[in-house]
Amino acid sequence: MSSIADNLGSVTRRIQKATLHAGREPGSVSLLAVSKTRSAEELRQAVAAGQRAFGENYLQEALEKIEALSDLTEIDWHFIGPIQSNKTRQIASAFSWVHSLDRLKVARRLSEQRETGLPPLNICLQVNINNEQSKSGCQPDELPTLIEEISQLPGLTLRGLMAIPDPEQTESALRESFRKLANTLKKLRQDYPEAGPLDTLSMGMSGDLEIAIAEGATWVRIGTAVFGERSPKS
């Protein structure tokens, strides 16, 4: 069985190779280690191997790990799961990024609850890129209003867009989904130059990071390729 350190090495090489192949700046793609269902001990191993950014989906589970790893002040916590509006306070105080924001009510709460001593929370708006009604994420046509409103909130910095495309698509359809997200961001940057840096595309997972990087990903969210297969959640 390969270790977490070995896996991080291979994923990092995959990212470097894909970045080079796409003709992009070395270092322009960051690795978010998705650590849902993983133990604090496994995260500790990843930190020892040099990993800093971790993505968590479930708030309660995340808070337990944040507490258990509070001695590792170098960790950067990213929230990437569905957000219940009554749980925003803890997200606003414990995380530095949220990739899964998709509605204004939650945005307002996160901004109000972000402590003034902390830098603004970095935000990616999650977009439902394949129009699946069941999944979370806003519809692309809701983005202009969301951007206009959220850019006024002092506790948040608008960094970009996130999507989880339907993994059952063909490779070319998947590539098209990533490209659509990248073009959407480009358009928003032109239309709303004052809204925030809008420099971030959170897209690509263990199985498709090369395609996502070719289409402009700046954060790839990698679980399985770093920590191994997840056992089904009981």
Binding residues for ligand PLP, rule: CB under 6 A, are 34, 36, 57, 80, 164, 205-207, 221-225
Number of Cβ atoms within 10 Å of the Cβ of 175: 17
Which of residues 167 and 193 has its CB atom nearest to ligand PLP in the complex?
167
Report which residue type is found at 73: T
Length reported for the chain: 234
3-state secondary structure of 190: helix
Which of residues 197 and 207 has its CB atom nearest to ligand PLP in the complex?
207
Q: Measured at CB, which residue is nearest to ligand PLP? A: 223
In the bound complex, what is the minimum distance in angstroms from residue 124's beta carbon to ligand PLP?
A: 11
In the bound complex, what is the minimum distance in angstroms from residue 164's beta carbon to ligand PLP?
A: 5
Instruction: Give Cα 78 to chain centroid, integer Å.
Output: 7
In the bound complex, what is the minimum distance in angstroms from residue 202's beta carbon to ligand PLP?
A: 8
In the bound complex, what is the minimum distance in angstroms from residue 33's beta carbon to ligand PLP?
A: 9
Which of residues 53 and 153 has its CB atom nearest to ligand PLP in the complex?
53
Which of residues 80 and 143 has its CB atom nearest to ligand PLP in the complex?
80
In the bound complex, what is the minimum distance in angstroms from residue 208's beta carbon to ligand PLP?
A: 9
Q: How far apart, in whole angstroms, are the C-alpha atoms of residue 228 and residue 156?
A: 33
196 in the Ramachandran plot: left (φ > 0), alpha (ψ -120 to 50) or beta?
A: left
In the bound complex, what is the minimum distance in angstroms from residue 151's beta carbon to ligand PLP?
A: 24
Which of residues 153 and 163 has its CB atom nearest to ligand PLP in the complex?
163
Q: How far apart, in whole angstroms, are the C-alpha atoms of residue 27 and residue 19?
A: 8
Which of residues 196 and 223 has its CB atom nearest to ligand PLP in the complex?
223
Q: From residue 70, how far is each of 77, 117, 231 by CA, in Å?
A: 11, 18, 26
What sign results for the dihedral spanned by CA atoms 3, 56, 222, 29?
Answer: negative
